[in-house]
């Protein structure tokens, strides 16, 4: 009896397929598309709430998927307060903005803070440089973020600035594009990698709002090297698990102030005496507009601490 059982186990092992390592390149709800090291692709069924995301490194054996530990993960909080992991094992977060539609207040700053919190390098991509008035918009953005993050002014239509952006993305990094709906992320990806031929949409002229043409996040290899994730647009980038004390440490424009010490270790940079940030605001080294944006996000975090406390 034991001999038969042993033979059965041996036959089962022989029938079992080999382990194959790969990366999730798209997610379709009940299945993920896995690109293996061999170049082969396979659709693998998964449960909806297992938490797999594009960029996850996985092992597949006998149609069963096992996720490997993540190096990094990018999270955001949506308008309902739910936490979304939007990408894994990323290196660069490209925040795409345009003069039409313009970014919502605080969007750029919250995306930069989220990137830094996750250990990613944030960059700004100003698209639609061919539009009338685009230069004024770009100059305003550059004036705020120059010297803080790398900035690329591009046009997916004319090709302006794409060479510099492609060179940056091709440094063997995995990049993730985010931006509000309609800023032209898919158009940019088409311009960088024409073979993809992604569908693009038009703006609703009445409200200068975009419509989503990307419905699932997808990971693409770029011709010049590197990888890029295209994702559906979302108009809010709520911060996740960041304290009010840590906000200033990641906030763009406060870098120099953070090198100084405030009088109090738990300074929130509002009304506390001896605050290094307040001193730089008074001297003009930090603009009042930058400081007001910080306070707005600070208040949102305070409200979120109460509103979203039990919603994970």
Is residue 78 domain-shared with residue 63, that is, in the same domain?
no
CA–CA separation, 189 and 198 (whole Å): 8
CA–CA separation, 72 and 115 (whole Å): 10
Point out the domain boundary residue: 40, 69, 98. 69
Residue 14 located in a structural domain: no
CA–CA separation, 74 and 290 (whole Å): 24
What pLDDT, on the 0 to 100 scale, is given for residue 246?
Answer: 84
Cα-Cα end-to-end distance for the chain: 51
pTM for the whole thing? 0.83
Residue 137 located in a structural domain: yes
Residue 220 located in a structural domain: yes
CATH number of the domain bearing residue 272: 1.10.40.50
**Mean pLDDT score across all residues of the chain:** 85
Is residue 276 domain-shared with residue 179, that is, in the same domain?
no
Point out the domain boundary residue: 199, 230, 261. 230
Is residue 107 domain-shared with residue 143, that is, in the same domain?
yes
Angle subtended at Cα 140 by Cα 134 and Cα 144, rounded to the nearest 5 degrees: 145
Q: 20-27 and 31-36 as β-strands: parallel, antiparallel, unpaired?
A: antiparallel
Q: Where do the H-state alpha helices sit in 81-201? A: 107-118, 134-145, 162-169, 185-192
CA–CA separation, 201 and 211 (whole Å): 6
As for how many domains the chain has, the answer is 3
CATH number of the domain bearing residue 220: 3.40.50.300
Map tokens 């009304």 to a residue.
271
What tokens appear for 180 in the block? Answer: 């509000």
Is residue 174 domain-shared with residue 152, that is, in the same domain?
yes
Is residue 113 domain-shared with residue 183, that is, in the same domain?
yes
Is residue 221 domain-shared with residue 86, that is, in the same domain?
yes
Is residue 55 domain-shared with residue 95, that is, in the same domain?
no
Q: Is the peptide bond before 74 cis (omega within 30 degrees of 0)?
A: no
> 272: Cβ–Cβ under 8 A, 6 or more apart, which residues?
262, 263, 264, 278
What pLDDT, on the 0 to 100 scale, is given for residue 65?
Answer: 93
Residue 193 located in a structural domain: yes
Point out the domain boundary residue: 174, 207, 230. 230
What pLDDT, on the 0 to 100 scale, is given for residue 122?
Answer: 97
What pLDDT, on the 0 to 100 scale, is given for residue 136?
Answer: 96
Which residues does the chain have with pLDDT short of 50?
Answer: 201-214, 306-312
pLDDT in tens, 99-144: 999 998 899 999 999 999 999 999 999 999 999 999 999 999 999 9
Short-list 56, 64, 116, CA closest to 237? 116
What tokens appear for 129 in the block? Answer: 């440089």
Is residue 153 domain-shared with residue 53, that is, in the same domain?
no
Is residue 260 domain-shared with residue 210, that is, in the same domain?
no
Is residue 158 domain-shared with residue 84, that is, in the same domain?
yes
What pLDDT, on the 0 to 100 scale, is given for residue 166?
Answer: 93
18 DSSP assignment: P
CATH number of the domain bearing residue 56: 2.30.30
C-beta separation of 98 from 243 below 8 A: no
Residue 42 located in a structural domain: yes
Q: What are phi and psi of 268, to 5 degrees?
A: -100, 0
- By residue range, what is the domain housing residue 184? 73-230
Q: 64-67 and 57-61 as β-strands: parallel, antiparallel, unpaired?
A: antiparallel
Is residue 64 domain-shared with residue 79, that is, in the same domain?
no
Is residue 141 domain-shared with residue 189, that is, in the same domain?
yes
Buried b (16+ CB within 10 A) or exposed e, 261-298: ebeeeebbbeeeeebbbbebbeeeebeeebbebbeebb
Q: 150-153 and 64-67 as β-strands: parallel, antiparallel, unpaired?
A: unpaired
């Amino acid at each position: 009896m034991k001999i038969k059982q042993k033979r059965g186990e041996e036959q089962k092992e022989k029938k079992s397929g080999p382990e194959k390592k790969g990366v999730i390149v798209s997610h379709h709800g009940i299945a993920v598309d896995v690109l293996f090291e061999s170049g082969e692709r396979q659709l693998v069924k998964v449960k909806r709430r297992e938490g797999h995301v594009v960029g996850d490194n996985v092992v597949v054996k006998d149609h069963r998927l096992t996720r490997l530990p993540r190096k990094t993960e990018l999270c955001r909080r949506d308008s309902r307060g739910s936490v979304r992991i939007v990408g894994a094992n990323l290196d660069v977060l490209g925040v795409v903005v345009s003069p039409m539609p313009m970014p919502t207040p605080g969007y750029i700053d919250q995306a930069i803070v989220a990137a830094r919190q996750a250990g990613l390098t944030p960059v700004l991509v100003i698209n639609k440089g061919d539009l009338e008035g685009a230069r004024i918009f770009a100059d305003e953005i550059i004036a705020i973020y120059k010297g803080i993050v790398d900035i690329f002014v591009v046009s997916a239509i004319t090709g302006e600035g794409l060479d510099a952006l492609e060179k940056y993305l091709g440094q063997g990094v995995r990049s993730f594009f985010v931006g509000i709906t309609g800023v032209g992320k898919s158009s940019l990806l088409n311009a960088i990698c024409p073979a993809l031929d992604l569908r693009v949409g038009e703006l609703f002229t009445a409200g200068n709002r975009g419509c989503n043409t990307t419905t699932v996040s997808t990971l693409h290899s770029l011709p010049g090297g590197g990888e890029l994730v295209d994702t559906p647009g979302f108009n809010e980038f709520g911060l996740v698990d960041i304290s009010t004390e840590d906000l200033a440490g990641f906030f763009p424009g406060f870098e120099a102030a953070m090198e100084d010490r405030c009088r109090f270790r738990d300074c929130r940079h509002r009304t506390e005496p001896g605050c290094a940030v307040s001193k730089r605001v008074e001297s003009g080294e930090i603009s009042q507009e930058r400081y007001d944006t910080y306070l707005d996000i600070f208040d949102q975090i305070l409200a979120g601490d109460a509103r979203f406390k039990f919603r994970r």
